[in-house]
Amino acid sequence: MKPLEIHRALISVSQKDGLIKFSKFLADKGVEILSTGGTAKALRQEDIPVKDVSQFTGMKEVMEGRLKTLHPKVLGGILAKRTREHLDSLEEIGGAPIDLIVVNFYPFEEAAKVKSTTLPELIEKIDIGGPSMVRAAAKNNDWVVVVTDPKDYDVIIGEIKEQGGVTAETRLRLAAKAFEFTARYDCAIAGKLSSVVSKEGSDFPPVLPLVFNKVEDLRYGENPHQKAAFYRDQESYLGRLIQHQGKELSYNNILDLDAAWALVCDLPKTACAIIKHTNPCGVGLGETAEKAFLRAKETDPLSAFGGIVAFNVPVDAAAVEALKDMFLEVVVGPRFEKEALDILSKKKNLRVISITETKPFDGYNYKRVAGGMLVQENDLFAGDTERKVVTKRAPTGAEMSAMELGWIICKHVKSNAIVLVDSTGTVGVGAGQMSRVDSVKIATKMKAYKDTKGCVAASDAFFPFPDGVEELAAAGITAVIQPGGSIRDNEVIETADKLGVAMVFSGRRHFRHG
């Protein structure tokens, strides 16, 4: 099929990036341009010939502009096949073929993000004519080109220059993109209005419309025989990461990257975390990024091999000098100094990532299960302020400060989680065991990098039996923070009192099940 020549175009856009350059090109090629409202005004200001849609249809805009393009001459001109039967029908109603539709919609998503936008104002941002024209053009892509993204203007210009028209392959690709565009738009409207309705009951809408845009195909999935891809739902956090160098990210890299970034965003500055299989194997605080990294590495240098290193402060040359000789998968921070990037560039396979958003992610968490989806709020520390001393001995100021650090880290460790800390970072981590006392034993006897006497501990959930506290006390732990809530809380507290361990209840659990 030969490229489709463009003789008549209808242009009506809210997003006007690249509009003038593209429209001038079309006009210079002799294309008749139909337009509406603000788009027509913008074109006339640049002396680009344009005909109002109302002039084309013979019907003026009515209902404050709500009805202008929903007209048989417009939709017929878009939907008509270039067959004699269709063209005769179009001629009967006084219409003419439209070969190119350039449309994007009223900015509903942008308006929905503004808290002060009222519901009536939001309703007015729901586009009706635009989606109708786009869907019609996408359906009839054998005969019509549809453009919803200004980034595609240059593609159209290039093909017209080189081939005299737009190829069938490009028309089909743009049609698919147009349906993606309308689907996202409808999902945004359904999601927002459902959330308004749900205020009367559940915090979650009765229908969950989700649209994610593909960022890239990944090297492989959780295992090499599984294919995988990365999609984003918004232009922030991992959706806006900048990869400075290194191999393509894998499925597991992104899981670890997500875990690492979530942890350092929760930590006080200046901090570094080293992640392995989504668990922190070391967390350190320091006066500089370098010192924070060295403290994090000190916890478990063996497990740090092949891990992900995350900083919550800009990464300088001193920090990368300290880590450059380690085998690592990813280094991530909010920003990298030029000298630091120059040093890291010598490690060609190391992935170096910048993420500018450093506050905890407050969106929903989705977990796919067979035949359905589990949805929950992200686990944030907002409101986690209860601290109740339940033992006879209250913790010292130093113990309490260290426990707060352990409490932050504990949230990011797979349950059952036990974290041992001092004032500067992790001392030992016990993660993901089926019984809490086993996590205690791992943290104190297998993973602790130094004598644990005088350290404190954090537990992500309650101690079901006193044995966990007994093991901690035997290792020299002097204070413990935990949620409380066990039917054996009194036994646990009595044991702590007997052993001289200060204990604080937080009243809130931070279980990380999976």
Instruction: Give the residue numbers marked as catalytic.
Output: 139, 277
Q: How many CA atoms lie within 13 A of 191 on its CB side?
A: 14
Helix, strand or coil for residue 328? Answer: strand
Q: CA-CA distance, 444 to 471, in Å (whole number)? A: 8
- Are residues 278 and 303 in contact, defined by beta-carbon separation less than 8 angstroms? no
Phi-psi region of 476 (alpha: psi -120 to 50; beta: other; left: phi over 0): left
Q: What is the DSSP string of 122-136?
A: HHHT--SHHHHHHHH
Q: At 267, phi and psi to the nearest 5?
A: -80, 150
Q: CA-CA distance, 340 to 318, in Å (whole number)? A: 8
Question: Bridge-partner residues for 11, per DSSP?
Answer: 35, 102
β-pairing, 51-52 vs 100-103, is unpaired
Give the amino acid at 102.
Answer: V
Read off the tokens for 206.
Answer: 């009765």
Q: Which of 296, 342, 295, 286 has its CA nearest to residue 316?
A: 342
- Are residues 324 and 345 in contact, defined by beta-carbon separation less than 8 angstroms? no
Please give the angle made by the CA atoms of 460, 463 and 468, to the nearest 5 degrees.
105
Q: Which of 41, 34, 53, 51 has its CA nearest to residue 16?
A: 41
Read off the tokens for 449.
Answer: 């990098």
- Are residues 388 and 396 in contact, defined by beta-carbon separation less than 8 angstroms? no
- Are residues 386 and 508 in contact, defined by beta-carbon separation less than 8 angstroms? yes
Q: CA-CA distance, 139 to 135, in Å (whole number)? A: 6
Question: Bridge-partner residues for 367, per DSSP?
Answer: 374
- Say which residues have a Cβ less than 8 Å from residue 68's Cβ, sequence separation at least 6: 36, 37, 53, 54, 61, 62, 129
Give the amino acid at 426.
Answer: T
- Element (H or E) spanning 301, and its range? helix 301-304
Q: CA-CA distance, 26 to 159, in Å (whole number)? A: 12
DSSP character at residue 149 = -
